[in-house]
Amino acid sequence: MSYKFLLFTLILSPMVYGKQMSIPVVTIVPVANLATEPSSKRFPNDPNPYDKLGTTYKSGIDSCPRLHQLLFNEQVRIIEQNGNDVLIEVPYLYFQTSPKGHKINRYWTDKRYFRPLKAIPQSQSCIPKPIDFNQLTTDHNNITTLTKPFYHCPSNTTYSAGTRFITTKHTSRGDSVLIYDPTTKQTHKASIPAGFCIHPTEIPAQKQKEEFFVKLLKKWVHDSNGQIPYVWGGCSFNHPYASLNYSVQDHMYKDKLHSNYTLTGHYPACDSGFDCTGLILRAAQIAQLPYFFKNTTTVGFRVKPLKRNEPIASGDLILFPGHIIVISDVNKNLVIEARSKYDDYGYIHEVPLNKVFRGINTFDDLRQAYMSNLKLERLNAHDKTISQIPIRILKLNSIWR
């Protein structure tokens, strides 16, 4: 995802909108949509304007205002409020418009998604410490992180992969954790099976974290219960979809007709799924990689390119304007990406390299094209060339430097 077109909206809107403040809060819903601007402006007659944004754009990028999704237990700060619209700062991600530019991490959302930390008794014992890009670490030894959706019966809630909980006990069979119930205001002890979570002690070394990152993406892509859809600004995996059924939804805003692809069916309020950068960000932070980059432009600034004497490895990234892909298997020439409905996909998948770029059958072919500064033919789901693009190959392990 590329956000240069949103810069002025994000920077200028706080100057003219609401009252300034700084309130630490925690997310109390499984998935919370964040937007480019106060959504009550775009949907003034909707009582819950952030809950159901379009899955992804059809008529143009500006038709889908979602920028990101928070998960349950994530801490942010409310810095501005007007009615139910709040401007927040998110500590674990940012984007930049120049290599040394300001790290932008502000988004608009609904205040009803949050509860002030001071309203939760002994919050430090049941709410995990946030990941913070200023500390350059995601490794908190007392935290259990979900690797797949987990249903908790006492609170009747399904939590997304990536949701973090305070650990009370870690064993080879799973973890015991604390879950705060915002409805009853009680804290539950819950047991999460090993196949649903990861603990920092299980992947202690850098190489293990990088390998786990790729392994996790493969598990998501090949989930036996269904597919994970492409969601513009999406950064959640709350449930798989047995089938992906889309309709086109239109709305007028600023005297312009906006059209979006929208998933149909009975699902939670906020669509579960990923865009290309959200997929990598969420999986990387579950794997405890120091990866905090929300858009493709920032990835290009912060992750170093492949050198001529370096091998291509699984986990490395293929970057081109507006999109990013993960190299998932160097031996089988496979890649993983979140690809939009606009390109006739609409889900995350693992595909051979030659299904993405015409005539590029192996990573040796890709290396040669990259080192020769060639433009590649990018293909859609019907093997049709949709653009000719320059590519960059980025080394995942450079994020540690």
**Which tens digit of pLDDT belongs to each residue from 201-256?**
999 999 999 999 999 999 999 999 999 999 999 999 999 999 999 999 998 998 89
**Both tokens of residue 271?**
């669509």
pLDDT at 193 over 70: yes
Q: How far is CA 312 from the centre of its chain?
A: 24
Please state, as a whole number, how many other Cβ atoms lie within 10 Å of the Cβ of residue 44.
Answer: 9
User: Per-residue pLDDT averaged across 125-133, rounded?
Assistant: 95
**Is pLDDT at 266 greater than 80 in this prediction?**
no
- What is the sign, positive or negative, of the torsion defined by CA atoms of 286, 264, 113, 191? negative
Question: Angle at the Cα of 228 (from 218 to 395), degrees rounded to 5?
Answer: 45
Across the range 346-367, mean pLDDT stands at 98
- Residue 232 is encoded by which pair of tokens? 């513009």
Whether residue 329 is contained in a domain is answered as yes
In a domain, 35, yes or no: yes
Dihedral angle of Cα 350, 353, 354, 360, to the nearest 10 degrees: 180
Whether 58 is in a domain gets the answer yes
Q: Which residues pair with 330 in a beta bridge?
A: none
Share of the chain above pLDDT 70, in %: 95
252 assigned to some structural domain: no
**Is residue 14 over pLDDT 60?**
no
Say how many C-beta atoms besides its own lie within 10 A of residue 46's C-beta: 13
Last residue of a domain, one of 59, 84, 116: 116
Assign residue 155 a region (left: φ > 0; alpha: ψ between -120 and 50; beta: otherwise): alpha
What is the structure's pLDDT at 138? Answer: 78
Return d(Cα 115, Cα 121) in angstroms, integer: 12
Domain that holds residue 310: 304-401
Single-letter amino acid code for the residue at 40? S
* Diameter of the chain measured on Cα atoms: 61
- Among 299, 225, 266, 297, which residue's Cα sits nearest to residue 7? 297
CB atoms within 10 A of CB 297: 23
Lowest mean pLDDT among 5-19, 81-95, 98-112, 118-132: 5-19
pLDDT at site 18: 57
Q: What is the pLDDT of residue 2?
A: 53
Say which amino acid occupies 54. Answer: G
Task: Classify residue 360 by burial, with Cβ atoms within 10 Å: 0-12, 13-18, 19+.
Answer: buried
Tokens of 8: 């002025």
Number of residues in the chain? 401
Question: Does residue 7 surpass a pLDDT of 50?
Answer: no
Mean pLDDT of 257-270: 87
* Res. 15 pLDDT band, cuts 50 70 90: very low
Helix (H, G, I), strand (E, B) or coil at 157: strand
Last residue of one domain, picked from the residues 69, 96, 116: 116
Domain count, the chain: 2
- For residue 393, the surrounding DSSP H or E stretch is strand 392-394
Whether residue 371 lies inside any domain: the answer is yes
Mean pLDDT of the chain: 93
Q: Phi first, then psi: what are they for 258, rounded to 5°?
A: -110, 135
Convert the pLDDT of each residue in 291-346 to its tens digit. 999 999 999 999 999 999 999 999 999 999 999 999 999 999 999 999 999 888 99
Burial annotation 72-85 (CB, 10 A radius, 16+ → b, else e):
bbbbbbbbbbeebb
- What is the band of 5 on the pLDDT scale with cuts at 50, 70, 90? very low
What pLDDT is attached to residue 102? 95
Residue 267 lies in a domain: no
Q: What percent of the chain has pLDDT over 90?
A: 85
Q: Is residue 256 part of a domain?
A: no
Kindly state the average pLDDT of the residues 359-384: 97
What pairs with residue 171 in β-bridges? 174
Question: Which tokens belong to 367?
Answer: 């290396």
Of residues 295, 249, 303, 253, the one with CA closest to residue 275: 295
- What secondary structure letter does DSSP report for 312? P
Task: Kindly give the pairing relationship between strand 174-181 and strand 186-193.
Answer: antiparallel
Least confident of 33-42, 137-146, 295-304: 137-146
CA atoms within 13 A on the CB side of 264: 6
Domain for residue 95, yes or no?
yes
Q: Is the pLDDT of residue 363 over 90?
A: yes
User: Is pLDDT above 60 for 30?
Assistant: yes
> How many whole angstroms separate alpha carbon 195 and alpha carbon 193?
5
Domain boundary pick from 78, 98, 116: 116
- Tell me: pLDDT of 4 over 90: no
Buried b (16+ CB within 10 A) or exposed e, 216-249: bbbebbebeeebbbbbbbbbbbbbbbeebebeeb
Q: Give the residues across from 104 on adjacent strands.
A: 95
Query: Given a cut of 90, is residue 63 above it in pLDDT?
Result: no
